[in-house]
Amino acid sequence: MKVYGKLFGIGVGPGDSELLTLKAARILSEVDVVLAASSSKNEYSRSLDIARGHIREDCEVIRLKYPMTRDDHVLEKAWKENADIAADILESGRSAAFLTLGDPLIYSTFGYMMQTLVRYYPEYDIEVVPGVTSYQAAAAKTRTVLVESGQNLLLTSGVASEEGLRKSLSLCDNAVILKAYRNFVDLRGAVEGLNGKYNSKFVSRLGMDGEQIFDKITDVPDKTHYLSLMLLTAN
Protein backbone atom coordinates (compact mmCIF):
# COMPACT_ATOMS: atom_id res chain seq x y z
CA MET A 1 0.00 0.00 0.00
CA LYS A 2 1.45 3.35 -1.06
CA VAL A 3 2.11 5.86 1.72
CA TYR A 4 1.63 9.51 0.84
CA GLY A 5 3.09 12.51 2.60
CA LYS A 6 0.98 15.01 4.54
CA LEU A 7 0.52 18.71 3.96
CA PHE A 8 0.30 21.09 6.92
CA GLY A 9 -1.08 24.59 6.58
CA ILE A 10 0.87 26.50 9.23
CA GLY A 11 -0.20 29.89 10.56
CA VAL A 12 2.99 31.63 11.69
CA GLY A 13 1.25 34.60 13.32
CA PRO A 14 1.31 38.31 12.47
CA GLY A 15 5.04 39.01 12.56
CA ASP A 16 6.44 38.45 16.05
CA SER A 17 8.23 35.09 15.95
CA GLU A 18 7.36 34.52 19.63
CA LEU A 19 3.68 34.29 18.64
CA LEU A 20 4.31 31.10 16.65
CA THR A 21 2.45 28.29 18.41
CA LEU A 22 4.23 25.34 20.02
CA LYS A 23 2.44 22.97 17.65
CA ALA A 24 3.55 24.94 14.61
CA ALA A 25 7.14 25.01 15.86
CA ARG A 26 7.14 21.24 16.41
CA ILE A 27 5.75 20.46 12.96
CA LEU A 28 8.20 22.84 11.29
CA SER A 29 11.06 20.96 12.95
CA GLU A 30 9.77 17.65 11.59
CA VAL A 31 8.62 18.19 7.99
CA ASP A 32 10.73 17.38 4.94
CA VAL A 33 9.77 20.41 2.86
CA VAL A 34 8.66 23.96 3.63
CA LEU A 35 6.53 25.79 1.05
CA ALA A 36 6.74 29.58 1.29
CA ALA A 37 4.44 31.76 -0.79
CA SER A 38 5.86 34.92 -2.33
CA SER A 39 4.89 37.46 -4.94
CA SER A 40 5.74 36.54 -8.51
CA LYS A 41 7.72 39.81 -8.58
CA ASN A 42 10.30 38.77 -5.95
CA GLU A 43 11.63 35.92 -3.81
CA TYR A 44 10.85 37.44 -0.42
CA SER A 45 8.63 35.59 2.06
CA ARG A 46 7.84 37.27 5.38
CA SER A 47 6.30 34.08 6.75
CA LEU A 48 9.56 32.24 6.04
CA ASP A 49 11.52 34.86 7.97
CA ILE A 50 9.24 34.37 10.97
CA ALA A 51 9.47 30.57 10.93
CA ARG A 52 13.12 30.17 9.91
CA GLY A 53 14.43 29.55 13.43
CA HIS A 54 12.33 26.37 13.69
CA ILE A 55 13.22 24.85 10.30
CA ARG A 56 15.94 22.19 10.10
CA GLU A 57 19.04 23.01 8.09
CA ASP A 58 18.49 19.95 5.89
CA CYS A 59 14.83 20.83 5.19
CA GLU A 60 14.14 21.76 1.58
CA VAL A 61 12.57 25.19 1.16
CA ILE A 62 10.54 25.89 -1.98
CA ARG A 63 9.18 29.34 -2.77
CA LEU A 64 5.84 29.29 -4.55
CA LYS A 65 5.04 32.19 -6.84
CA TYR A 66 1.63 33.79 -6.55
CA PRO A 67 0.82 36.72 -8.88
CA MET A 68 -0.66 39.90 -7.39
CA THR A 69 -3.59 40.23 -9.77
CA ARG A 70 -7.37 39.94 -9.95
CA ASP A 71 -7.29 38.18 -13.32
CA ASP A 72 -9.14 34.92 -12.59
CA HIS A 73 -7.45 33.02 -15.41
CA VAL A 74 -3.96 33.98 -14.24
CA LEU A 75 -4.82 33.19 -10.62
CA GLU A 76 -6.32 29.79 -11.35
CA LYS A 77 -3.29 28.85 -13.44
CA ALA A 78 -0.95 29.77 -10.57
CA TRP A 79 -3.09 27.91 -8.02
CA LYS A 80 -3.00 24.74 -10.12
CA GLU A 81 0.74 24.97 -10.82
CA ASN A 82 1.54 25.39 -7.13
CA ALA A 83 -0.86 22.62 -6.15
CA ASP A 84 0.98 20.36 -8.62
CA ILE A 85 4.26 21.13 -6.87
CA ALA A 86 2.76 20.23 -3.50
CA ALA A 87 1.18 17.07 -4.95
CA ASP A 88 4.54 15.88 -6.31
CA ILE A 89 6.04 16.22 -2.82
CA LEU A 90 3.19 14.32 -1.16
CA GLU A 91 3.26 11.66 -3.88
CA SER A 92 6.90 10.98 -3.00
CA GLY A 93 5.94 10.28 0.60
CA ARG A 94 7.46 13.47 1.98
CA SER A 95 5.65 15.80 4.38
CA ALA A 96 5.37 19.53 3.74
CA ALA A 97 4.40 22.68 5.60
CA PHE A 98 2.82 25.60 3.76
CA LEU A 99 3.58 28.83 5.64
CA THR A 100 1.10 31.64 5.91
CA LEU A 101 0.94 34.88 7.90
CA GLY A 102 -1.68 34.97 10.63
CA ASP A 103 -4.14 32.10 10.35
CA PRO A 104 -4.25 29.74 7.34
CA LEU A 105 -8.00 30.13 6.80
CA ILE A 106 -8.42 33.91 7.08
CA TYR A 107 -7.63 35.85 3.88
CA SER A 108 -4.81 33.43 3.24
CA THR A 109 -3.09 32.05 0.16
CA PHE A 110 -3.20 28.64 1.82
CA GLY A 111 -6.97 28.57 1.33
CA TYR A 112 -6.44 28.44 -2.44
CA MET A 113 -3.78 25.76 -2.11
CA MET A 114 -6.02 23.60 0.07
CA GLN A 115 -9.10 23.95 -2.11
CA THR A 116 -7.14 23.25 -5.30
CA LEU A 117 -5.53 20.14 -3.80
CA VAL A 118 -8.89 18.86 -2.58
CA ARG A 119 -10.30 19.40 -6.07
CA TYR A 120 -7.54 17.72 -8.09
CA TYR A 121 -5.82 15.46 -5.54
CA PRO A 122 -8.40 14.34 -2.95
CA GLU A 123 -6.24 11.38 -1.91
CA TYR A 124 -3.77 13.53 0.03
CA ASP A 125 -4.08 14.31 3.74
CA ILE A 126 -4.16 17.97 4.81
CA GLU A 127 -4.00 19.34 8.36
CA VAL A 128 -4.51 22.99 9.27
CA VAL A 129 -2.59 24.44 12.22
CA PRO A 130 -4.23 27.71 13.35
CA GLY A 131 -2.18 30.81 14.02
CA VAL A 132 -2.54 34.06 15.92
CA THR A 133 -4.18 36.62 13.66
CA SER A 134 -2.96 40.16 13.08
CA TYR A 135 -6.14 41.62 14.56
CA GLN A 136 -5.82 39.55 17.74
CA ALA A 137 -2.26 40.78 18.15
CA ALA A 138 -3.32 44.37 17.37
CA ALA A 139 -6.11 44.20 19.93
CA ALA A 140 -3.66 42.91 22.53
CA LYS A 141 -1.10 45.60 21.68
CA THR A 142 -3.65 48.42 21.96
CA ARG A 143 -5.65 46.82 24.80
CA THR A 144 -8.79 46.94 22.69
CA VAL A 145 -11.75 44.77 23.70
CA LEU A 146 -13.00 43.48 20.36
CA VAL A 147 -16.37 42.14 21.50
CA GLU A 148 -18.23 41.56 24.76
CA SER A 149 -21.64 40.65 26.18
CA GLY A 150 -24.22 40.47 23.37
CA GLN A 151 -22.18 42.43 20.83
CA ASN A 152 -21.26 41.13 17.38
CA LEU A 153 -18.00 41.54 15.49
CA LEU A 154 -17.61 42.10 11.75
CA LEU A 155 -14.47 40.80 10.05
CA THR A 156 -14.13 42.31 6.60
CA SER A 157 -11.68 43.45 3.95
CA GLY A 158 -10.79 47.01 3.07
CA VAL A 159 -10.81 46.01 -0.59
CA ALA A 160 -14.60 46.42 -0.63
CA SER A 161 -16.19 49.59 -2.01
CA GLU A 162 -16.86 52.60 0.23
CA GLU A 163 -20.61 52.10 -0.17
CA GLY A 164 -20.35 48.40 0.66
CA LEU A 165 -18.18 49.07 3.71
CA ARG A 166 -20.51 51.76 5.01
CA LYS A 167 -23.47 49.42 4.68
CA SER A 168 -21.68 46.57 6.48
CA LEU A 169 -20.39 48.83 9.24
CA SER A 170 -23.83 50.29 9.85
CA LEU A 171 -25.10 46.82 10.77
CA CYS A 172 -22.47 45.71 13.31
CA ASP A 173 -21.42 46.64 16.84
CA ASN A 174 -17.64 46.38 16.37
CA ALA A 175 -15.46 45.63 13.37
CA VAL A 176 -12.05 44.52 12.18
CA ILE A 177 -10.97 45.68 8.73
CA LEU A 178 -8.02 43.83 7.24
CA LYS A 179 -6.21 44.87 4.05
CA ALA A 180 -6.81 48.47 5.11
CA TYR A 181 -4.19 49.84 2.72
CA ARG A 182 -5.61 49.43 -0.77
CA ASN A 183 -8.61 51.77 -0.56
CA PHE A 184 -7.73 53.60 2.63
CA VAL A 185 -9.13 56.98 1.61
CA ASP A 186 -12.48 55.38 0.75
CA LEU A 187 -12.31 53.32 3.93
CA ARG A 188 -11.73 56.40 6.04
CA GLY A 189 -14.63 58.10 4.30
CA ALA A 190 -16.91 55.14 5.07
CA VAL A 191 -16.03 55.26 8.77
CA GLU A 192 -16.31 59.04 9.02
CA GLY A 193 -19.66 58.84 7.23
CA LEU A 194 -21.12 56.99 10.22
CA ASN A 195 -21.00 60.16 12.33
CA GLY A 196 -18.81 59.05 15.21
CA LYS A 197 -20.29 55.58 15.68
CA TYR A 198 -16.86 54.07 16.29
CA ASN A 199 -13.65 54.55 18.17
CA SER A 200 -10.94 53.65 15.68
CA LYS A 201 -7.38 52.38 15.85
CA PHE A 202 -5.16 51.95 12.82
CA VAL A 203 -2.23 49.55 13.09
CA SER A 204 0.53 49.06 10.52
CA ARG A 205 3.49 46.63 10.43
CA LEU A 206 2.61 45.26 13.86
CA GLY A 207 5.57 43.63 15.60
CA MET A 208 7.97 44.61 12.81
CA ASP A 209 10.38 47.42 12.06
CA GLY A 210 8.41 50.54 11.26
CA GLU A 211 5.41 49.63 13.42
CA GLN A 212 2.83 52.42 13.59
CA ILE A 213 -0.30 52.79 15.71
CA PHE A 214 -2.80 55.62 15.26
CA ASP A 215 -5.65 56.29 17.68
CA LYS A 216 -7.42 58.47 15.14
CA ILE A 217 -7.83 57.55 11.49
CA THR A 218 -7.76 61.25 10.61
CA ASP A 219 -4.05 61.15 11.52
CA VAL A 220 -3.26 58.28 9.14
CA PRO A 221 -1.51 59.28 5.87
CA ASP A 222 -3.41 58.59 2.66
CA LYS A 223 -0.83 56.01 1.54
CA THR A 224 -0.32 53.19 4.03
CA HIS A 225 1.71 49.98 4.20
CA TYR A 226 0.02 46.83 2.92
CA LEU A 227 0.32 45.18 6.35
CA SER A 228 -2.29 47.47 7.88
CA LEU A 229 -5.60 46.98 9.66
CA MET A 230 -8.29 48.87 11.54
CA LEU A 231 -10.06 48.11 14.80
CA LEU A 232 -13.45 49.77 15.22
CA THR A 233 -15.30 49.66 18.56
CA ALA A 234 -18.60 51.25 19.45
CA ASN A 235 -18.59 54.64 21.17
User: Residue 207: which CATH number?
Assistant: 3.30.950.10
Q: What is the pLDDT of residues 79-98, one digit of tens each?
A: 999 999 999 999 999 999 99
Indicate if 124 and 158 belong to the same structural domain.
no
Indicate if 143 and 108 belong to the same structural domain.
no
Indicate if 144 and 210 belong to the same structural domain.
yes
Q: What is the pLDDT of residue 40?
A: 58
- Which residues span the domain enclosing 104? 6-129
Residue 139 within any structural domain of the chain: yes
> Which residues have a Cβ under 8 Å from the Cβ of 106 and sit 6 or more positions away?
133, 155, 178
pTM for this one? 0.91
Q: What is the pLDDT of residue 42?
A: 61
Q: What is the pLDDT of residue 45?
A: 87
Indicate if 151 and 120 belong to the same structural domain.
no
Q: What is the pLDDT of residue 84?
A: 97
Indicate if 64 and 163 belong to the same structural domain.
no
Indicate if 120 and 139 belong to the same structural domain.
no
State the total domains in the chain: 2
Q: According to the 3-state scheme, what is the secondary structure of 169-200?
A: HCCCCEEEEECCCCCHHHHHHHHHCCCCCEEE
Residue 67 within any structural domain of the chain: yes
> Which residues have a Cβ under 8 Å from the Cβ of 75 and sit 6 or more positions away?
67, 69, 112
Q: 202, 195, 151: which is closest to 176 by C-alpha?
A: 202
Indicate if 122 and 23 belong to the same structural domain.
yes
Over its length of 235 residues, how does the chain's per-residue pLDDT go in tens digits?
A: 788 999 999 999 998 999 999 999 999 999 999 999 887 566 678 899 999 999 999 999 999 998 877 788 899 999 999 999 999 999 999 999 999 999 999 999 999 999 999 999 999 999 999 999 999 999 999 999 999 999 999 999 988 777 888 888 888 999 999 999 878 888 888 888 887 888 999 999 988 888 999 998 889 999 888 889 999 998 8
Burial of 182 (C-beta count, 10 Å sphere; 0-12/13-18/19+) = middle
Instruction: Give the residue from 129, 164, 186 where a domain finishes.
Output: 129
Instruction: Give the residue from 129, 159, 190 where a domain finishes.
Output: 129
Indicate if 110 and 161 belong to the same structural domain.
no
Q: What is the pLDDT of residues 167-190, one digit of tens each?
A: 888 889 999 999 998 788 888 888
Indicate if 53 and 112 belong to the same structural domain.
yes
Indicate if 124 and 167 belong to the same structural domain.
no
Indicate if 122 and 183 belong to the same structural domain.
no
Residue 32 within any structural domain of the chain: yes
Indicate if 42 and 117 belong to the same structural domain.
yes
Residue 22 within any structural domain of the chain: yes
Mean pLDDT of the chain, nearest integer: 92
Burial of 20 (C-beta count, 10 Å sphere; 0-12/13-18/19+) = buried
Say which CATH number the domain at 70 has. 3.40.1010.10
Instruction: Give the residue from 129, 156, 182 where a domain finishes.
Output: 129
Residue 1 within any structural domain of the chain: no
Q: What is the pLDDT of residue 136?
A: 97
> 3-state DSSP call for residue 49?
helix
Q: 50, 45, 54: which is closest to 19 by C-alpha?
A: 50
Q: What is the pLDDT of residue 2?
A: 81
Q: What is the pLDDT of residue 81?
A: 96
Residue 125 within any structural domain of the chain: yes
Residue 58 within any structural domain of the chain: yes
